[in-house]
Structure formats: structure tokens, C-alpha cells
Amino acid sequence: MGESTGLIIIIVCIALAIALTITLVLLVRLQKKLAIFMSGKNGFDLEQTLQLLTERTTANEKTLESHKEGLEYIDARVKKSLRGYSLIKYNAYSDGGGEQSFASGLLDERGDGYILSVITNRNHVGLYAKKVVGGTSQQSLTTEETDALASAVAQTKS
């Protein structure tokens, strides 16, 4: 049994030596890869690169927040701006006038605004404004004013 035990020990030692050699080769390769990974562009190491990326991310977040605030401000202004408008010209009086009278609808995105009417003849000019909320007039409208409102409301929806 002495000879076979010695042979087994030699085989185990050879197997361990081979395993150790393979492990050392893999360790050297891993160290080379780690050295490459840890050295960055222009001599930056990994920690400096991560710090730079963190600073850039923070700066980008601040920029995005200011852009968001700016867009919200612009969006609020656009909603209040003129989105629907119309002009309906007509003769208010049967004695002529050459269609100098008109009704005009002026509405924002929500359908809020005014109907302006100008009634003209040779001796008189009258200007009237009627409030509109949500596409509905707060006062009774003439046929021309109703047409002007309908036309302006249609534009706010397109």
C-alpha cells in the first residue's frame, strides 16, 4: 500500500500544480483587464470618471428642470393666446352700407374670449363686446354673432 499511496500523492500534487498554474494565468489576465478598466481616458481613473459622470448628471437634471419650468410657462401663455378668430361682414341696415358692419369672434384654447360687433351706417357706429366662456356666450347673440362664434369655436378645436 505504500507504493500506491505515494503514486496517488504524486498524481494529486501534479493535478494541484496544474490547477495552480491555470489559476495564476487567469489571475494575471484578470489583473491586466482590471488595470485597463481602472485607467480611463486622459489618465482618469475609475473614481474620477464616476465623479465626472455624477457631476454631468446633476447638471443635466438642473437643465431639464429649468426647461420644464420654461415649457410650463410657455404652455400657460399659449393656452391664453388667441386660437380661434372669425370675421363675419354684413349689412346691418337695409339702406346700404356696403357690408361695413361685422361680428368677430376672438377665443383662446379653452373657448374663452369675446364676440365683438361693429354696426355701421352713415350716421352712426356702434361697438359691442359680449363675453364668451367655454364657447358659450353670456348674452344673447345676433345671427351674425352666432355664426362668428361658431366659426371661432371650430378653429379652437383644430
The rounded distance, in Å, linking the Cα atoms of 47 and 145 is: 71
Same domain, 104 and 124: yes
Q: C-alpha grid cell for residue 135?
A: 364657447
15-34 mean pLDDT? 93
Same domain, 63 and 103: no
In a domain, 21, yes or no: no
pTM: 0.56
Q: Which of 80, 107, 142 is where one domain is finished?
A: 80
Q: Report the pLDDT value the prediction gives residue 88, as an integer from 0 to 100.
A: 93
Q: Report the pLDDT value the prediction gives residue 122, as an integer from 0 to 100.
A: 78
For residue 142, count CB atoms less than 10 angstroms from its CB and return exposed for 0-12, middle for 13-18, buried for 19 or more. middle
Number of domains comprising the chain:
2
Same domain, 88 and 150: yes
The whole domain housing 103 covers 84-156
In a domain, 47, yes or no: yes
